[in-house]
Structure 1
Amino acid sequence: MSSSGRIYDKSRPPSSKPRSIVEEERGLLSGVPVNGKDDLDGIETRDLQWSRKKLIGTAAFFIALLISGAFFRTLLRGPIVPSEYSLWHSSGSELLSNGTHEFKRTVLIVSIDGLRADYLDRGLTPNLLRISENGLRAKSMKPIFPTLTFPNHWALMTGLHAESHGIVANNFWDPKSKTNFQYNRIESCWKPEWWFGEPMWETAEKAGLITANLMWPGPPKTTSGASSTYFVPWRDHVPLAEKLEQIVSWIDLSVELRPQLIMAYEPSLDQAGHATGPNSARVNKTLAEVDSFTKDLQTALHARNLTDIVDVVFVSDHGMTDTSHPELVYIDDILHSDGLEAIEQIDGWPAMGLRFRSSANISHYLDLLQKASDASPERFDVYTHETMPPRYHFSHSERVAPIYVVPKIGYVLTTKAEGDTGMSKGNHGYDNDELSMHAIFIAHGPFTTDAKALHQSGQKPAENHWQSTGSNTYIMERFPNVEIYNLVIKLLGIESWAAPNNGTENRLQPARVLSNRYLNIKCLVWGEDALAYIQFVPTRLFDLHLIAQDEDVQAASAAIIQAFQLEYGPSSSVRGKGRLDEGGHAPSYPYSICLESSIPATIESSPPEMVLIHPQS
């Protein structure tokens, strides 16, 4: 096995240190060649600590139901026979069999950096689409803001927004430690104190599971000292065949040594997008190569009779937009020379987090930026911690610069001295509502097989949740990537070990078919759209949990209660309850309001995001 496919014993120190790393080029996020250099060129892997010989010798359903709650409208006749869904009712240590070997519940999550959601429409990904035909996929997966590689890969691992997990950009200043985080410098970015939250591999290790990390962006160890059992550090330009070999070698280990959670990362598509733009021939060629890799991976699992044992999840961190001919916004035209000189730190790219010197007239420069934005709102937005859009979840961290300038698609922030030097032809980091920034979610495994079985049994989901492409493909509505942590933890059967996160509780968890008893229905509703879904009323006593994104949770609760009473009369038994933080507002993560009623009604429709039904305790 080549060095890129080595397996490392976390109990032993590395025998070599990384060499110097080249300076970052603007707009290049993962190893795009610029002037003959690569972002992470020269990083050596650690020496092999365990030989392969020694290792060998010693060695959704639910996600479909969650996004498409209308599935349950026809499931009130009785409970599912438990044996049909034994994966959901077993512990992570239960042994399964592929016919020749014993396996524990296993999840393989593969991140393809920069795979924009609509790349799947180019006719170049027949294998990914075939996998989704046998499993499911989302219209897109919404990244966190900023839509950059490191913040989003840590969001996928922890289920946290940037303000919570601490990685607020690929490069940023930490005022507490008075140091810079630089994603392309191992001596900087591998320090555990940068990384807040608990990644899924730490949760799994705490639960007693073996995990394996193949170059996933992030630290080798957390602040608690936890690390994956097997860890392959970053090295650029590793052939996909070698990564496949490493993944398969882990799967082929004996049950005592085999990891139950495998995380793998592939940056080549992102590199191509930066270097030549998202619409280039190089991107299309790389996209086809990545697609072939997914076929080879599925073929390897099928050859081992593991397609009904291993849950495979393909994700990406963000999309990509064309920046080959951007409109340049010169900040020195706005702030003038004295304003530029007053800036002490600039964080991030393409957005700019501005930190002015303490002696500067900050309010004056903020006013200049705001007036320029108001005069040409199509170019960029200007935010402070107080004015940052709540949907960004990007204001409650001292690592977020006090002033953030966020360019619109098609615009690039720069100075006259820098111009377009070092800029790439494709980039990301823009508003996470932009569809060109959206990522993919494709899954296949036991849980998707179960979902297909339900659908084929005649329990048809609502069309506004599921769409058929004519080729048996199940397409879910968009959802945020902070839900992936809870998804993987549940798939592994270790949800009792789950760490606090920004994902919606129970949103990406398997539902059980109801007995003919009381129901507990959880419905996801976003902010001001809550009233649009009030028509969803079940037939028995229920709890309706509404997740509000806005801060005015009490008003949302009161409005919903009023709507119930208008529909069913003022004497209807409805009450609302919730929990606010010490400041009287909802936390920055989704917040639950519980409404209870005994009003009988007929289920006519369901909200377009998610409904989860299970027996009420």
Structure 2
Amino acid sequence: MDDISLRDLENDEDDITGDYDARNYDRQILLQHDLSEKLITDESIRRSRKKQQKKSVGFAPESSYRRINDQPESDNDIEVDAELHLRNLKTKKRRLNCLKGFLFSVLCILILSIFGAAVYVGVLKNKFGLLHPSDGKQGQDDTSTTPDPVAAKTLLSNGTTNYYPTTICISLDGFRPDYLTPELTPAMWEIFTAEYSAPFMYPSFPSVTFPNHYTLATGLYPSAHGIVGNTFFDPVTGEEFDYHNDTSSLQPKWWGGEPVWATATKNGLRTGVHMWPGSEVPWGNSEPEYVDEYNGKETLTHKVDRVLNWLDEDFTTRPELIMAYVPTIDSIGHKYGTSGPQINQGLVQVDGLVSSILDGIVARNLSSIVNVVVVSDHGMASTSNDRIIFLDDIISLDAFEHTDGWPLFGLRPFAENTTEAMYNAILQARDTISTQDNADSLKHWQVYTTDTMPAEYHFAGSSGGMYQDRIAPIWLVPEPGWTMTTHARFKEMHYDYHPKGLHGFNNTHPLMRALFIATGPHFPAGTSVEPFYNVELYDILCKSLGINGAPNNGTMAGYPKLLPENWIDPYPFGSAMPDSAANESSTSNESDGSTSTVSDPEQTTTADAPQSSSTTWMAYFEDRLNNLTSSIDAWLDKIGNSDDGALRL
């Protein structure tokens, strides 16, 4: 056995190899491998199917998965089912990603919409004045978030000095718009015909100084701001308002609403107010930067210097709203009437005031920065000894506790005399007087209660405001040019009635009309606007300064409607003059030698008209149209002659 040869070993190896069937062995190994892999795959499919049923995703129908155990064996079974499963999973993932993208897009759009809406609402509120600047009452801790209205103001320059947009408003007390003529008032006539103006402006009722100046300042009718007359009684407090008594009349309790100087101050603007009625009232944190007390003896030259000196103030203290009161024409009208050399001289003087201010603006190169608005509070009507209504012929004043107003009368009966009883007594007296010789005077006065007051007065009843307690329950209102007094008072006048000019009558009457003209960057030249009530001036001034106003009775938001080309005055001046004006034969003007003769009540030129040659309304509109045409032609020529031919605004 030890001598086994190499050949023997090789034979034994051949025998072992011959007993091993390599092909069958490999086949068994492969079958076992396939079976194990098949079992693993079947288990994976079952688990996937079970998981799918739990989640109920449903991206592919269950029938799409092949039940391999129930199907004949195939070399491609495992590969095909795995690809289908993978494809379904990819579809599921892709759809989930699409859903996530969609939801993210919706969220972004929603956030942007909310942000955009917030910005839009903020802009609208600011535009329409629903957002008001800080009133300075915030604590020190939140000063960093307090809006600074000064920062929003537009900074301009005249070439050497910085300016903010500025508006000057001048009130010419008692100035009727028909006083404007090219001979007596050339500066204002130029504004009236070539710049920005209305044929006239309606005052508020009653057409007297204090109620209307405060209406101009607040945009509120007298019954809404509380100053319902130059004198009146308040039954709530038992006190009387008298504009002559500064101690009483300047108390804030009388003055409601928000004047434009207070609005400007709240918006971070500085203001200077010269003698404007109501400006001396203590306004707390909203008081003007500069306030000048009333001085009836002040010269017009000093007024001009005061306004121009404000324009020359340092940039840090210069007022941007300047308001000035000029009583010249009202004083002359009361003393001498509405015609004659005195009124003519007064017209020349106040036109010189306006001209000097305009010249000062040009000299300072401020024409593109400063607006000038010239207004009046009411008109004026001449009186006559032939146009007197005696109040004590109508009813005994002993029955009344208080009488308000003048030249119209508001009557407050004693407690034992009811309003209805007194009203009926006045009507009965009217019937009795109608049979007497002076019955003609009945045609020239009316009696109203607060319930029957005309709605156009906006004074009492449903059209009135919150201060109607201050309005007497009965009112006797004469026509313009007529006046009421008592026999005793007329005797004290030595039977020569004065004042020679009066106002306070129906605010829509031609003789009571007020003035409105304007010029400056805010007011387009060559523009005519429709007549409007003076409650609109407040918003006009606010818009010229770029600020939003407080709530008021205005309806035009600071922009009056343009005057139609075919507009015709329904009540042209001269068509409704006092009847006895026709009896005034002539008036000679020694100052200029002109004469105005009135012999027919149908004539449009009366003794109430200023003594100068004036154009008719038709001539006025023709003149304005020609002026506008010339301006357009010059503008077009300027465009055509420009170097680049571009339109420059």
**TM-score interval (norm. to shorter):** 0.5 to 0.7
Q: Deviations over 1:391-426 (max 9, x none)?
A: 101114111101111111232111222126463000
Q: Which residue of structure 2 lines up, in the alignment, with residue 503 of structure 1? A: 554
Q: Deviations over 1:46-67 (max 9, x none)?
A: xxxxxxxxxxxxxxxxxxxxxx
Q: Distance in 2 between matches of 1:474 and 1:277?
A: 32
1:111-190 correspondence runs (5 A): 111-121=171-181, 123-190=183-250
Q: Distance in 1 between matches of 2:191 and 2:388?
A: 41
1:88-103 correspondence runs (5 A): 93-103=153-163
Matched, 1:405 2:462: no
Change (3 A) 1:192 1:99: same
1:196-595 correspondence runs (5 A): 196-222=256-282, 226-335=286-395, 339-372=396-429, 377-395=442-460, 396=464, 397-419=468-490, 421=492, 423-448=498-523, 451-452=524-525, 474-495=527-548, 498-506=549-557, 508=559
- Larger helix fraction of residues: 2
Contact kept, 8 Å, 1:380 with 1:406, in 2: the verdict is: yes
Contact kept, 8 Å, 2:304 with 2:357, in 1: the verdict is: yes
Q: Distance in 1 between matches of 2:418 and 2:296?
A: 44
Alignment RMSD (CA, Å): 2.3
Q: Distance in 1 between matches of 2:207 and 2:231?
A: 13
1:439 CA drift (Å): 0.9
Normalized against structure 2, the TM-score is what? 0.59
Q: Distance in 1 between matches of 2:250 and 2:152?
A: 30
Q: Distance in 1 between matches of 2:235 and 2:182?
A: 44
Paired AA for residue 137 in structure 1: S
SS in 1 for 2:487: coil
- Larger strand fraction of residues: 1
Change (3 A) 1:175 1:478: same
SS in 2 for 1:406: strand
Change (3 A) 1:169 1:510: closer
Change (3 A) 1:307 1:91: farther
Paired AA for residue 351 in structure 1: L
Contact kept, 8 Å, 1:136 with 1:474, in 2: the verdict is: yes
Paired AA for residue 136 in structure 1: Y
Higher relative contact order (CA 8 A, sep 6+): 1
Q: Distance in 1 between matches of 2:371 and 2:427?
A: 48
Change (3 A) 1:188 1:154: same
Q: Which residue of structure 1 lines up, in the alignment, with residue 66 of structure 2? A: none
Q: Distance in 2 between matches of 1:480 and 1:326?
A: 32
Q: Deviations over 1:299-322 (max 9, x none)?
A: 000000111110100000001000
Aligned residues: 397
Change (3 A) 1:318 1:168: same
Paired AA for residue 543 in structure 2: K
Contact kept, 8 Å, 1:490 with 1:509, in 2: the verdict is: no
SS in 2 for 1:488: helix
Q: Deviations over 1:211-231 (max 9, x none)?
A: 011010114235656311111
Change (3 A) 1:91 1:505: farther
Which 5+ residue runs of structure 2 have no aligned equivalent? Answer: 1-149, 435-440, 565-569, 571-649
Contact kept, 8 Å, 2:378 with 2:503, in 1: the verdict is: yes
Q: Which residue of structure 1 lines up, in the alignment, with residue 640 of structure 2? A: none
SS in 1 for 2:180: helix
Matched, 1:191 2:251: yes
Normalized against structure 1, the TM-score is what? 0.62
Paired AA for residue 483 in structure 1: E
Q: Distance in 1 between matches of 2:309 and 2:152?
A: 21
Contact kept, 8 Å, 2:538 with 2:558, in 1: the verdict is: no
Q: Distance in 2 between matches of 1:364 and 1:326?
A: 31
Q: Distance in 1 between matches of 2:455 and 2:491?
A: 32
Change (3 A) 1:406 1:494: same
Which 5+ residue runs of structure 1 have no aligned equivalent? Answer: 1-89, 453-472, 512-522, 524-528, 530-617
Q: Distance in 1 between matches of 2:297 and 2:283?
A: 29
Q: Which residue of structure 1 lines up, in the alignment, with residue 575 of structure 2? A: none
Q: Deviations over 1:149-178 (max 9, x none)?
A: 001000000001011011111111111121
Change (3 A) 1:268 1:302: same
Q: Deviations over 1:344-395 (max 9, x none)?
A: 1110111100001101244232112234557565221111111011110111
Paired AA for residue 484 in structure 1: L
Change (3 A) 1:198 1:479: same
